[in-house]
């Protein structure tokens, strides 16, 4: 989440604090109004795609992009944000990006994307990985930047625009990883385990271009 903020994504505010000898993650509630704490109506991508929990495996990003084009405020900017979140998930090894980990506010007339939440790099034993939701219209879900670039048009982006987003995120992660890790109170062991394994995994970069920490 700290890295996501640094690359420019709209994410829920977070803070890690020490309490009774334990690390505690605080996540600010964005489903409540700031003044009176009233509920804000929200629906998940699973609901937007008219799928139940048993059918969640059929959810995919291009179908969500269709909903955004038809029912969201400012769809072009929203699609750029969605694409940026997909890229970030690939770059940090978050393959748990299923349809209940995306949501929108509903005001009775239109939808707006909520801040990103539940961004968590997943452990992996090998190199190859796939996202929970397909990135391309052809069903492609490989956790690679080349998959994202190939699907750019689905999100109303040119290949050049897609590459600009990707390159900017890679640069930010490379240069600000240590600061973000310190903010999250990661141990030296955690930093060593995540760097190059989940964060900027070589498989994600394969076929794109060489980048190193």
Q: What are 198-211's pLDDT values in tens digits? A: 899 999 999 997 54
pLDDT at 203: 93
Q: Which residues contact 27 (CB under 8 A, 6 or more apart)?
A: 1, 12, 13, 14, 117
Q: Break the chain into its structural domains and give their ranges.
A: 2-205
Give, in order, the Cα–Cα distances in Å from 130 to each of 32, 44, 51, 82, 160: 33, 21, 21, 17, 24
For 43-83, write each residue's pLDDT tens digit.
999 999 999 988 888 999 999 999 999 999 999 999 999 99
pLDDT at 213: 45
Gap between the Cα atoms of 103 and 79, Å rounded: 13
CA distances, 27 to each of 74, 131, 169, 178 (Å): 26, 24, 23, 21
pLDDT in tens, 134-171: 999 999 999 999 999 999 999 999 999 999 999 999 99
The residue among 116, 79, 92, 101 whose CA lies nearest residue 170 is 92
Closest to 5 measured CA to CA, from 24, 34, 27: 27
pLDDT, tens digit (0-9, with 9 covering 90-100), for 26-49: 999 999 988 888 899 999 999 999
pLDDT (tens digit per residue) in 88-123: 999 999 999 999 999 999 998 889 999 999 998 987
């Amino acid at each position: 989440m700290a890295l996501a903020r640094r690359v420019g994504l709209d994410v829920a505010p977070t803070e890690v604090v020490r309490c009774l000898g334990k690390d505690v993650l605080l996540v600010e509630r964005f489903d409540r109004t700031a003044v009176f704490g009233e509920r804000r109506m929200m629906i998940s991508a699973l609901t937007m795609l008219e799928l139940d929990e048993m059918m969640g495996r059929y959810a995919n990003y291009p179908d969500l992009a269709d909903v955004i084009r038809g029912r969201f405020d400012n769809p072009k900017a929203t699609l750029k944000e969605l694409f940026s979140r997909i890229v970030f998930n690939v770059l940090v090894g978050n393959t748990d990006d299923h349809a209940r980990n995306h949501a929108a506010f509903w005001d009775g007339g239109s939808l707006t994307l909520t801040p990103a939440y539940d961004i968590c790099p997943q452990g992996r034993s090998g190199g190859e990985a796939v996202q929970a939701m397909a990135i391309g219209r052809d069903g492609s879900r490989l956790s690679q930047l080349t998959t994202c670039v190939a699907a750019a048009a689905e999100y109303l982006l040119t290949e050049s625009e897609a590459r600009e987003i990707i390159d900017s995120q890679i640069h930010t992660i490379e240069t600000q990883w240590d600061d973000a890790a310190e903010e999250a109170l990661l141990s030296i062991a955690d930093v060593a385990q995540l760097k190059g394994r989940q964060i900027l995994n070589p498989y994600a970069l394969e076929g794109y271009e060489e980048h190193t920490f």
